[in-house]
Amino acid sequence: MIVLDYKDRRPIYEQIVERFQELILAKVLECGEKLPSVRNLAMELSINPNTIQRAYMELERQGFIYSIKGKGSFVADIQDMIDIRRREWEEHMEKLAQEAVHMGLDRKKFMELAEILYKKAEERK
Amino acid sequence: MIVLDYKDRRPIYEQIVERFQELILAKVLECGEKLPSVRNLAMELSINPNTIQRAYMELERQGFIYSIKGKGSFVADIQDMIDIRRREWEEHMEKLAQEAVHMGLDRKKFMELAEILYKKAEERK
Amino acid sequence: MIVLDYKDRRPIYEQIVERFQELILAKVLECGEKLPSVRNLAMELSINPNTIQRAYMELERQGFIYSIKGKGSFVADIQDMIDIRRREWEEHMEKLAQEAVHMGLDRKKFMELAEILYKKAEERK
Amino acid sequence: MIVLDYKDRRPIYEQIVERFQELILAKVLECGEKLPSVRNLAMELSINPNTIQRAYMELERQGFIYSIKGKGSFVADIQDMIDIRRREWEEHMEKLAQEAVHMGLDRKKFMELAEILYKKAEERK
DNA sequence: GTGGTCTAGACCACA
DNA sequence: GTGGTCTAGACCACA
């Protein structure tokens, strides 16, 4: 489920955070589901438990999971978060569209650029 | 060239600033071109010359125009500004495209939304 | 007892819900007391019975009233709710007082602000 | 400047974070001022550099300081943060005052409670 | 068993 | 020299 990329220059804990974010946002990990324990995941990935701990701390701070001492870490209910993100995204997009109109970017060019940038983002993923 | 909207809740000088920004960015007013004098424009719009003065000061502060005592106000060379704005706009758009991919918004929906928001911005103008 | 404000932008049923909440919390309507029937209140306010129905449904969902088929709607026992709200209110107030101390707001200014905001709330009511 | 309280049950890094927050909010440490280096402060307090690192990370996340690799950690410009906090605090206070009015808490009792809770917060500090 | 904190110490990137 | 990441491992609180 979690695969580390040692060629990646980003720190390991960051890779773990991002991977779990994806799994949770894509609902592969469902609300309330238990994450592997800090120690188990550390063993499985052959890394130090501290690194997992740090990743889980960050995920909890961001509201993706919640941890209960003595019980484990669990996927949080992120529907509200998703809704808020979606709304903010649309607001930003609306603002950019307005700026495009002000800058004199016509609809055709605007749509072309949007498509190019979307494809670029898709490939990068 | 300048039309005031008294139903608009924003201060008049702000409307004037925005209108000139549009005219300059859209290159209706070209680099080096002389703006109407403070007094003339005030008469034309039937408003206090101080309001125009304030708008011109703000435009100068933002780098859209420059004023020469005894000669008048002129459109500044804003190519650099345009380039920077355009670059920043593209960066923002790229970021939004990336977020769209991360949120699981597929290309079709992304393009539809982009078009809707562009049209909405166009109508509002 | 219920006065509608058509200048208010909120939906009518929401205004009705809020008004009944106030009447029940202020114990003008006592526990067990019968509310006006859907039809009567609708006639009295010259609005659609469905709107009243919706308001009553919302009030029941929130635990302010209970409805018995064929008999009517009655004010619920809300003492628990009142106690909980009061406790939560005090907790929030305690937290704000603490933040005030941390922000360096001295007691005199804190008390002044509290009084001003209380009066403002009173007037608005 | 920083004194640890080993009787305090809270983790050391949290104490350090809070202490620096106070020093920065009270402007004892001014904007742009350099904080002691991770290693120096660790030596001075006879604790592990990791613990300081963790505290500084948290302070940076919260916007109190910024760190530049190879140069050090510096106090951030927090005037905006202070303004925002103050505004949010007032909004919360206004809301609580409104709720107090709705709950039927009269002004005298409201003011008494406010004073008691303020004193309590002051003593706890 | 589980998460949370902390120590001791290594190594890296950046300046 | 400075912050940032990571390992190895201890100990605590909670369940």
Instruction: Indicate if B23 and B66 belong to the same structural domain.
Output: yes
Instruction: Indicate if D71 and D19 belong to the same structural domain.
Output: yes
CB contact under 8 A, D25 and C115: no
Picking from C18, C95, C101, C105 by the largest number of D CB atoms within 10 A of its own CB, the best residue to mutate is C101
pLDDT reported for residue D52: 96
Q: Encode D3-28: b = buried (16+ Cβ within 10 Å), e = exposed.
A: eeeeeeeeebbebbbebbbebbbeee
pLDDT reported for residue C117: 94
Instruction: Indicate if A54 and A105 belong to the same structural domain.
Output: no
Instruction: Indicate if A115 and A84 belong to the same structural domain.
Output: yes
Average pLDDT over residues C22-41: 91
A111/B contact by beta carbon, under 8 A: yes
Q: Which nucleotide is nearest to A46 (CA to C1')?
A: F7
Nearest of B18, B124, B100 to residue A93 by alpha carbon? B100
Spans of chain D below 70 pLDDT: 125
Confidence band of A2 (pLDDT split at 50, 70, 90): confident
The answer as to whether D3 is a domain residue is no
What's the per-residue H, E or C state across B47-103?
CCHHHHHHHHHHHHHCCCEEEECCCEEEECCCHHHHHHHHHHHHHHHHHHHHHHHHH
Q: What is the pLDDT of residues A11-53, one digit of tens each?
A: 999 999 999 999 998 889 999 999 999 999 999 999 999 999 9
Beta strands in C5-104 (DSSP E): 65-68, 72-75
Closest partner residue to B114 among A25, A101, A114, by Cβ? A114
Number of cross-chain residue pairs from A and B with Cβ atoms under 8 Å apart: 97
Instruction: Indicate if B86 and B118 belong to the same structural domain.
Output: yes
User: CA B26 – C1' E5 distance (Å)?
Assistant: 60
Between the alpha carbon of residue B79 and those of residues B56, B59, C100, D18, the distances in Å are 19, 15, 49, 48
Average pLDDT over residues A105-125: 90
Instruction: Indicate if B52 and B88 belong to the same structural domain.
Output: no
Instruction: Indicate if C51 and C95 belong to the same structural domain.
Output: no
The answer as to whether B3 is a domain residue is no
Whether residue C99 is predicted with pLDDT greater than 70 in this model: the reply is yes
pLDDT reported for residue A3: 87
Q: What is the mean pLDDT of chain A?
A: 92
Give the closest-approach CA distance of D9 to chain C in angstroms. 20
CB contact under 8 A, A110 and B122: no
> Tokens at residue D4, please?
């640890």
Instruction: Indicate if C63 and C44 belong to the same structural domain.
Output: yes
Between the alpha carbon of residue B106 and those of residues A25, B101, B113, the distances in Å are 15, 7, 11
pLDDT reported for residue C55: 95
User: CA A39 – C1' E2 distance (Å)?
Assistant: 9
Q: What is the mean pLDDT of chain C?
A: 91
Q: Which residues of B touch A79 (CB under 8 A)?
A: none
Q: What is the pLDDT of residues A62-87, one digit of tens each?
A: 999 999 999 999 999 999 889 999 99
- Judge whether residue D3 contacts strand F, using its CB and a 7 Å cut-off: no
The answer as to whether C58 is a domain residue is yes
Give the closest-approach CA distance of A41 to chain B in angstroms. 25
Q: How many domains does chain B have?
A: 2
**Whole-number Å distance between alpha carbons of D99 and C85:** 10
Whether residue A125 is predicted with pLDDT greater than 80 in this model: the reply is no
Residues of the domain holding A112: 80-124
Helix D49-61 × helix D38-45 angle, to 10°: 120
CB contact under 8 A, D92 and C92: yes
B109/A contact by beta carbon, under 8 A: no
pLDDT reported for residue D125: 66
The answer as to whether C7 is a domain residue is no
Virtual CA dihedral for A79, A30, D61, B93, nearest 10 degrees? -60
- Judge whether residue D51 contacts strand E, using its CB and a 7 Å cut-off: yes
pLDDT reported for residue C15: 92
> Tokens at residue A43, please?
């063993």
C96/D contact by beta carbon, under 8 A: yes
pLDDT reported for residue A5: 86
Instruction: Indicate if C17 and C63 belong to the same structural domain.
Output: yes
Percent of chain A with pLDDT over 90: 75
pLDDT reported for residue B34: 95
Instruction: Indicate if D33 and D89 belong to the same structural domain.
Output: no
pLDDT reported for residue D40: 94
**Whole-number Å distance between alpha carbons of A99 and B88:** 11
- Judge whether residue D49 contacts strand E, using its CB and a 7 Å cut-off: yes
- Judge whether residue A71 contacts strand E, using its CB and a 7 Å cut-off: yes
Q: Which nucleotide is nearest to A37 (CA to C1')?
A: E2
**pLDDT of chain B, 125 residues: tens digit per residue:** 788 887 777 888 999 999 999 899 888 999 999 999 999 999 999 999 999 999 999 999 999 999 998 899 999 999 988 898 899 999 899 999 988 998 889 999 999 999 999 999 998 76
- Judge whether residue D71 contacts strand E, using its CB and a 7 Å cut-off: yes
Whether residue A58 is predicted with pLDDT greater than 70 in this model: the reply is yes
Instruction: List the CATH number of the domain containing D38.
Output: 1.10.10.10
**Whole-number Å distance between alpha carbons of C15 and B105:** 37
